[in-house]
């Protein structure tokens, strides 16, 4: 499973790099930034991600995300208590 996630992140990083290069080129030429090419690239990135996302263990990811959210809330509460002393 980690290799699928790593592959997805590598493909996503390449797509982001290409999209950034396109936006820089379009901005320098004075054209509209959000044209059909960038939207097409985003659509293709989402289409590439769908098969990978279907193989992820969503229950474990949701449980980990909820644990992290509770830990973050407790940390913020502790910081609030310390700062208001």
Encode pLDDT of 13-46 as tens digits. Answer: 777 778 777 777 777 776 655 566 666 777 777 7
55 within 8 A of 4, measured Cβ to Cβ: yes
Instruction: For the chain, count helices (H), then strands (E).
Output: 3, 0
User: Do 46 and 62 have their domain in common?
Assistant: no
User: Do 69 and 39 have their domain in common?
Assistant: no
Give the burial string for 36-57 (b: 16+ CB within 10 Å, else e): eebeeeeeebeeeeeebeeeee
User: Do 12 and 37 have their domain in common?
Assistant: yes
User: Do 50 and 61 have their domain in common?
Assistant: no
User: Do 37 and 64 have their domain in common?
Assistant: no
d(CA 60, CA 1): 13
> Structural domain of residue 72, as residue ranges?
57-85
User: Do 10 and 26 have their domain in common?
Assistant: yes
40-72 per-position pLDDT tens digit? 777 777 777 777 767 777 777 778 878 888 888
């Amino acid at each position: 499973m980690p290799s699928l996630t790593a592959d997805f992140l590598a493909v996503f990083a390449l797509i982001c790099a290409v999209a950034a290069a396109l936006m820089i080129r379009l901005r320098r030429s004075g054209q509209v930034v959000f044209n059909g090419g960038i939207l097409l690239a985003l659509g293709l990135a989402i289409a590439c991600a769908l098969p990978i996302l279907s193989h992820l263990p969503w229950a474990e990811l949701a449980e980990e995300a909820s644990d992290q959210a509770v830990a973050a809330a407790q940390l913020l509460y502790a910081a609030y208590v310390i700062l208001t002393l």
